[in-house]
């Protein structure tokens, strides 16, 4: 079966213009298929065969996400073989990857979030900047890329609003809370000491250029160490915390969707699971008929 594999390799390098990394990944996935097939030709495999291979991958400890990627590579291979070499129906027809376990967004508690933000000093120019960054992240539920790219012209602190550009180059207007406004005003008074001429982003680094996503992430890690916080912290956790706390208080899923800039409500609905988990924990702790009887 080397000829079909060679043909597919040429397709990836030519028509598909895949990167070297992508070509290697496809090659590894097809090598896996060839190992499973053994002496059986790839053009005569059946859906039953592929289901057996899926079981082998699961029993071998491969995650659902990895299995989904492998199946996607195999599906692409068979589509090309059908189109170019006249192979019959794909054995991937009707094959679905295993369901992935839903990963709940990691959020801080209200008290932990307040403790972090209140502990951040603003007694020097960089600390003042960092406090403004993280107050804005939590206040408005911004992605780290949105924090890095927000510009001076997109801030309207008099009205407590900011215009941000999110995924898919879509813009939205988000509210900015009072504490974040105060932190931003203090930072903007000092920003001219760092910012180079012509740099329009709100947050800049020591060189005067726009602060990068990586730099923002690194600054939160630095503050975590300085403050002796054991909990793992990253900017997106502040976004998750904002969404979770707002939903717990308002129960307005649509409003949270608009704030976060989610295209689909189903993306926002994952936060309801956290709300239900908190409710269940409170129920178990406080409801008089939920408590277990002592042994």
Could you say which of 129, 143, 240, 245 is catalytic?
A: 143
167 belongs to the catalytic site? yes
The active-site residue out of 11, 53, 78, 271 is 271
135: tokens are: 């107050």
CA atoms within 13 A on the CB side of 267: 10
From the candidates 129, 191, 240, 262, which is the catalytic residue? 262
**234 catalytic per annotation:** no
Question: Looking at 69, 172, 224, 236, which residue is catalytic?
Answer: 236
245 flagged as catalytic: no
143 is catalytic: yes
CA distance 120 to 122: 7
User: Is 262 one of the annotated active-site residues of the chain?
Assistant: yes
Query: Which residue matches tokens 């012209």?
Result: 153
Q: Which two tokens stand for residue 8?
A: 């597919």
User: Of these residues, 131, 191, 219, 239, which one is catalytic?
Assistant: 239
Q: Is 172 known to be catalytic? A: no
* Active-site residue, selected from the candidate residues 35, 83, 100, 167: 167
* Beta strand pairing call for 161-165 and 155-156: antiparallel
Catalytic residue positions, numbered: 143, 167, 236, 239, 262, 271
């Amino acid at each position: 079966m080397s000829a079909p594999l060679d043909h597919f390799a040429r397709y990836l390098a030519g028509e598909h213009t895949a990167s070297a990394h992508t070509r290697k990944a496809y090659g590894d996935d097809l090598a896996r298929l060839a190992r499973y097939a053994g002496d059986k030709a790839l053009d005569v495999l059946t859906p039953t065969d592929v289901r057996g291979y899926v079981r082998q991958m699961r029993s071998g400890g491969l995650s659902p996400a990895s299995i989904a990627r492998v199946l996607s590579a195999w599906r692409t291979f068979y589509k090309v073989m059908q189109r170019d070499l006249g192979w019959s129906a794909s054995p991937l027809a009707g094959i679905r990857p295993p369901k992935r376990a839903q990963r709940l967004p990691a959020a801080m508690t209200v008290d932990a979030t307040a403790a972090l933000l209140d502990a951040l000093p603003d007694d020097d120019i960089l600390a003042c900047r960092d406090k403004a960054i993280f107050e804005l992240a939590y206040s408005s539920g911004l992605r780290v890329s949105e924090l890095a790219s927000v510009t001076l012209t997109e801030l309207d602190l008099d009205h407590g609003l900011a215009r941000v550009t999110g995924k898919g180059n879509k813009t939205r207007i988000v509210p900015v809370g009072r504490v974040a406004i105060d932190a931003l005003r203090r930072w903007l008074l000092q920003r001219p000491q760092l910012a180079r001429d012509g740099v329009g982003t709100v947050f800049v680094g020591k060189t005067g250029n726009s602060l990068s996503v990586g730099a923002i992430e690194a600054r939160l890690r630095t503050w975590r160490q300085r403050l002796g916080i054991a909990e793992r912290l990253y900017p997106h956790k502040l976004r998750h915390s904002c969404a979770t706390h707002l939903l717990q208080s308002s129960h307005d899923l649509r409003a949270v969707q608009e704030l976060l800039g989610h295209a689909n409500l189903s993306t926002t609905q994952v936060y309801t699971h956290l709300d239900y988990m908190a409710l269940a924990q409170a129920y178990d702790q406080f409801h008089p008929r939920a408590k277990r009887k002592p042994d």
